[in-house]
Each structure stands twice: as C-alpha cells, then as structure tokens.
C-alpha cells in the first residue's frame, strides 16, 4: 500500500465494469455481489460507495495503474510480465475504489482483496481504501487434500473449499487418491460410499474453473496402493504380499498405472497430473530385491519412474511426483534424460521446521534444472487439533527458501493419517499457506496471527486469534514434555490404567494443569467472541476449534482423574480392616467419590460421550458417512471401558456394604 488507509460507510455498494464485462469478469462481479449479500450489504444503483472494474488497455485503466505506482516511477512504464499474469492495481476514488487488471484472474483476485477491505456487516459496514499494486510471488499456489486415509468430503464441501481457497488466491486444488477415485477399468478400487465418482469430478472441475482454480488429481502410481493390493486379483503386482508398492518388474503393474492415468486425463482437462510415487519403502524387499541389490535402490526407483513418465507422454500433461525418494540420489537425478526433466515437476516435501534450512530437499532438483515445487504441511494428522507451531514455521520457511531457490509453486498439504482429522480444523494452516505462496519473501507469522480472526471469522475482539495461540501453547507444552506427546490422538485414546498409560502418566503429570488451562482458555475465548458478535462467519470452523480444545483438555483431565481414583482407592483399601466407625464411613465416601452420581468414573464416561457426539456432528458437516464408524467405534469402545469400570467398582461398593 503506497497510501494510508482511509474508510467510508458502505451501507450500499455499486459495482460495475467500465466497459461491457468479459464473461469471466462478469462472474467475478457476481461473486462479489454474492459476498455483499451474505454480509447484508445492499447492492444498488446509485449507492454511496462505488467499485469500478476495468481491464488494462484503455486510457482509464492505464491511468488507474499509473496512479498505483510509486511517485518516483514513470507513469508511462508498462507493467512487467510477472505483474500482468495475475496482478492488479487498486486506487481510491471519490466514491470508493477503482481497479484494473491484465487478466480475468487478476480481476478476480483484485475483488477478493476488496472483500478483505470490508469490515463489518449490514448498513454499518466500512470499506477501507488504499492504493495497492499486487501480484503473486509464485505462479502455482495450491492445496493437496488427502481423500484416502479416512475422511472423504462431500461434493458440497469440496465446492466450499474451492470458494475459500480461491478467495485467498490459491489456484490449485489437488485431491489425493490411493483407492477412492472411480475407475471404470478397475472397479474393485473404489469403496462403496467412499468413492469420488467421475461425474462428481467433472462437476468439480467445471465449478473450480470459474474460480480460477485448476484441479490436479493425484493418483498414487507406485507406492501407497495397499488398499488395491489387498485384492487377490492384484496380489501378483505387489512388491511384497498385500503390501504398498508395485513391483517394477511386473508388466501388469505399469499397465495399471497406464489405465488409471488414461482415465484421469479424460476427466481432468488441466495441464497437470500427479503421480505421487512417494514413500516406496517396500521397494527391494520382495520381488525386486535382486534388482535393487544389483543396481541400487535409487537407480531402480528412477528407472521405473522414467518408464511411467515415458508411457504417459501421449497424454500431453506435465507430471508431478513427490521428491522424497529421488532426492537421496542427486547425481542420478542430474543424469536423468532431458525428456524426463521437461515432462515432470519434482515436488519437494517436508512437514517440520528445519533449523538448517530446506536446501537439501530442493536443490537435488533445481540443480538438475528441473521445475520444482515445495510442499509444506499443516501438521493436522493424527492429532486432536493441528500443531500450528510446526505448521506455520514449516510453511513460512520452506516456501520462502523455495522462492529464493527458484521454485515455481507451493503445494500445501493436508494428511489424515489415522482417519480422525476434521476438515474444519485446517483453515488456519490453509490460509497461512496461501499468504506464504502469494507473499514475496518470508511471510510474517505475527501479522497473519493478528489478522486471521477478523478476516476469516469477522471477529474484531482478537479472541479467535488468541484462542488459536492458546492451542499452540498447549501443543508446545506437550511437545516439550519428556513424552513429546504433541497433542497426539494416541495420547487422547490411551487407557491410563494400562502399563503404557501409567508410563505416559509419569511423564505428563508435571504439565497436565498447564495444558488444560490453555485449552480451557481457548474454549472461553471462542465463547466470548461469539457473545460479542452473534454474526461471526465460518461458525463450523469455530465449532471444530472448540472441539479440538475440549479434546486437548480431556487429555489432561483423564490422567489427573486416574491419579485421583488411584489415590482414593488406595486410601480406602488401607482402611478396609479398621473397626472404627469413622473409618468405615470414610471408605464408603472414598468409593463414592470414585463411583457415584458425580463420580470420577462418570466424569470419564460423560466427557468421552459428549465429545463423541460433537465429533460426529463435525464430521458430517464436511464428510460422507464413509469411514465415520471406525472413529465412532473408538469412542464407543472407550465409553464402554469406563462403563465397565463403573460396574466393577459398583460391585466393590456392594461387597463393602454387605460384608
């Protein structure tokens, strides 16, 4: 911004193209009007505030662009190519704002920025104005979404994902498939109720195109095919029995990949397809062992990858692949044929902050003169709530260092490893990924953290921003404990009376109170934000934030209550032979404290039951019922475990009363 912010009341907004709207610009204008209607801001003619839209080329548009330039810059300077692709300029005028852009995507992104400049709802809403010249640091800015480890979103939620990521200027959505994409040539792959059909895919592709989002399907083509290789029909193709990796020596293995990607190319018309090909850990442990022993793992891996790429060249697509295996042999990567390098994009991935930097993930490919993207992660997998301490630092550093090394894209990642993750917990990391990919250089974490709540939820109190920080603090305390628990689902589920549970309790006792206080502060802050503004936006995400905090709190309560039960029972046990009346009363009281109307065992039952119901509601807001049973059974099993203990202690109480 080259001028200070000012603001004007926008009780009504008029938006027009300076000339007749291009059809894509007309969609962007209608999308903006839909946004205004959702905020109860009148769209009318005439109106107190006006937004003028013009494509670059006319004298008016050139004057708008010239006004956006720093004063020392010649107004006649033609925009650079990096600006023209998706860039735009916005200036204040007497009635509001005027914008110009060079492409339809630039017009769309300019209007997304103006959305962020509107504060409040209804007649009292305020439009902030500024002089802005803006364009992205990276050409490709995307989200990789795991659709194979449990949750499979509804088509309606995927459309919402498209709208939201487009509003924050992402232009790639990449659904990740191991077995959940429908293939007519391989019908065994797709599970009933959990398959993304070809008709749904085509509908989503058409929908995303309006929002300037390209869909890149990622179908695992080498590893991560366990669900398919469990079928007897495909057993001969597996490197190891019922394993995860295709055996490169099997001709039918390459034919399987050929079949899948031929169908994908007919469904997804974009310029890219993603081969996956990561974590091929079974390779060389079964059918291909002799070959790997003779040539080396890297050579066998890259040879098979090259064969896949060569076979798919008639599809005329650029093929992405994950870089984790190839990066181990940078000299072999350099020696790959030019045809392979031109046909592929290496996607370097690493999901944690790296104090020594990310060069070793990126340079094996950039030094080989290959197009390269970086893939950070939002650390949502196998946790009661994403660990944004790891995620924000990872996204910030990996993306900035990738820019410095010449990468052309960022593909932020969501993984659902144990199948429990909730999609509405992910927006914080998704939006920071969008900021880091658009921002030139290192995006500011503090600036993001202080603007997220207002921008995404409409919370002007700062409470939502602080609630996210409270959960980050709880995560950090758990990570710094001797157990290094990191808010893991495994800690949430472990039986504290088991041998492992007692071992973990000893490592967690000193920090349980602090974890709970941060989690409970997050719950309180969300409630306070809602009380201050009943019209907050993205309320499903606030529900998920509240649920994440409740799960975090229960980790602490579970171990605390277990210690209290053990202490109470030990005291009762020690007094059981006493003949004193007061001791006998004390035994009854101690047993009642463990098991009674408000007993500690009932606390465990009640908390898991409540969270189970909240979890089911949150799941069904975004996902199909497929796979939900696996997670609810874990809740039900745990609830039954505590119910069983209620009955066991009740038997003890009856025995005490009777004898």
User: What was the pLDDT predicted at 487?
Assistant: 80
pLDDT attached to residue 296: 97
Nearest by Cα to 558 from 521, 611, 607, 524: 607
Alpha carbon of 520 to those of 475, 513, 532, 647: distances in Å?
13, 10, 18, 31
- For residues 637 and 634, what is the distance between their CA atoms, to the nearest angstrom? 5
pLDDT at 72: 66
Distance of CA 468 to the CA centre of its chain: 15
Nearest alpha carbon to residue 651 among 594, 585, 586, 577? 594
At 74 the pLDDT is 62
Closest CA to 13 of 39, 25, 5: 39
Average pLDDT per block of 10 residues along the chain, 659 residues long: 60 86 94 96 90 93 92 72 94 93 97 96 92 97 97 98 98 98 96 97 98 98 96 96 96 96 98 98 96 97 98 98 98 97 98 97 98 98 97 98 98 97 98 98 98 97 98 97 91 97 96 98 98 97 98 98 98 96 97 96 98 98 98 98 98 95
DSSP-based helix, strand, coil % in the chain, nearest 5: 55, 15, 30
Residue-level pLDDT at 116: 96
């Amino acid at each position: 911004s080259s001028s200070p912010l000012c603001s004007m009341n926008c009780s009504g907004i008029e938006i027009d193209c300076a000339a007749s709207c291009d059809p894509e610009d007309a969609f962007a204008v209608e999308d903006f009007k839909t946004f205004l209607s959702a905020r109860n801001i009148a769209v009318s003619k005439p109106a107190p505030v006006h937004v003028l839209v013009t494509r670059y080329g006319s004298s008016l548009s050139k004057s708008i662009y010239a006004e956006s330039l720093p004063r020392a810059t010649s107004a006649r300077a033609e925009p650079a190519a990096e600006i023209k692709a998706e860039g735009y300029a916005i200036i204040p005028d007497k009635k509001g704002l005027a914008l110009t852009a060079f492409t339809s995507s630039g017009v769309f992104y300019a209007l997304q920025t103006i959305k962020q400049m509107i504060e409040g709802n209804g007649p009292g809403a305020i439009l902030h104005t500024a002089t802005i010249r803006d364009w992205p640091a990276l050409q490709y800015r995307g989200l990789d979404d795991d659709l194979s480890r449990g949750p499979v979103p509804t088509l309606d939620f995927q459309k919402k994902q498209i709208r939201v990521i487009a509003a924050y200027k992402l232009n790639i959505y990449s659904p990740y498939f191991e077995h959940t994409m429908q293939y007519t040539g391989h019908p065994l792959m797709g599970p009933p109720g959990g398959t993304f059909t070809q008709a749904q895919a085509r509908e989503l592709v058409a929908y995303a195109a309006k929002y300037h989002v390209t869909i890149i399907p990622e179908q695992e083509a080498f590893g991560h095919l366990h669900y398919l290789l469990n079928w007897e029909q495909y057993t001969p193709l597996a490197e190891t029995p019922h394993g995860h990796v295709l055996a490169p020596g099997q001709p039918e293995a390459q034919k399987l990949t050929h079949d899948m990607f031929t169908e994908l190319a007919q469904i997804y018309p974009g310029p890219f397809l993603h081969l996956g090909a990561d974590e091929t850990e079974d390779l060389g442990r079964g059918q291909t062992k002799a070959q790997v022993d003779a040539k080396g793992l890297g050579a066998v891996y890259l040879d098979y990858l090259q064969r896949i790429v060569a076979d798919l060249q008639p599809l005329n697509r650029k093929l992405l692949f994950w870089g984790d295996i190839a990066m181990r042999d940078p000299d072999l990567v350099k020696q790959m044929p030019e045809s392979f390098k031109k046909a592929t994009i290496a996607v370097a991935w690493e999901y944690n902050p790296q104090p020594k930097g990310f060069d070793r993930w990126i340079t094996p490919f950039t030094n080989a003169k290959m197009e390269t993207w970086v893939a950070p992660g939002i650390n949502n997998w196998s946790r009661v709530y994403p660990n944004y301490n790891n995620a924000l630092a990872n996204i910030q550093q990996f993306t900035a260092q990738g820019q410095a090394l010449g990468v052309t894209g960022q593909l932020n990642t969501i993984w659902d490893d144990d199948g429990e993750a909730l999609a509405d917990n992910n927006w914080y990391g998704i939006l920071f990924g969008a900021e880091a990919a658009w921002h030139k250089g290192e995006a500011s974490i503090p600036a993001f953290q202080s603007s997220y709540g207002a921008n995404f939820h409409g919370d002007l109190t700062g409470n939502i921003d602080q609630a996210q920080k409270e959960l980050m603090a709880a995560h950090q305390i758990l990570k710094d404990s001797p157990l290094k628990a990191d808010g893991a689902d495994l800690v949430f589920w472990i039986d504290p009376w088991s041998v492992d549970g007692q071992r973990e309790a000893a490592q967690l006792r000193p920090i349980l109170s602090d974890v709970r206080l941060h989690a409970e502060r997050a719950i309180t802050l969300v409630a306070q934000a809602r009380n201050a503004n009943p019209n907050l936006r993205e309320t499903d995400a606030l529900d998920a934030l509240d649920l994440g905090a409740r799960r975090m709190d229960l980790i602490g309560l579970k171990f605390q209550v277990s210690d209290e039960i053990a202490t109470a029972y030990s005291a009762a046990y020690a007094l059981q032979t006493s003949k004193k009346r007061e001791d006998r009363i004390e035994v009854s009281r101690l047993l009642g404290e463990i098991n009674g109307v408000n007993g500690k065992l009932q606390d465990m039952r009640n908390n898991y039951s409540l969270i189970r119901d909240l979890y089911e509601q949150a799941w069904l807001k975004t996902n199909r019922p497929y796979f939900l049973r696996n997670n609810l059974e874990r809740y039900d099993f745990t609830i039954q475990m505590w119910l069983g203990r209620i009955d066991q202690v009740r038997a003890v109480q009856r025995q005490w009363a009777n004898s």
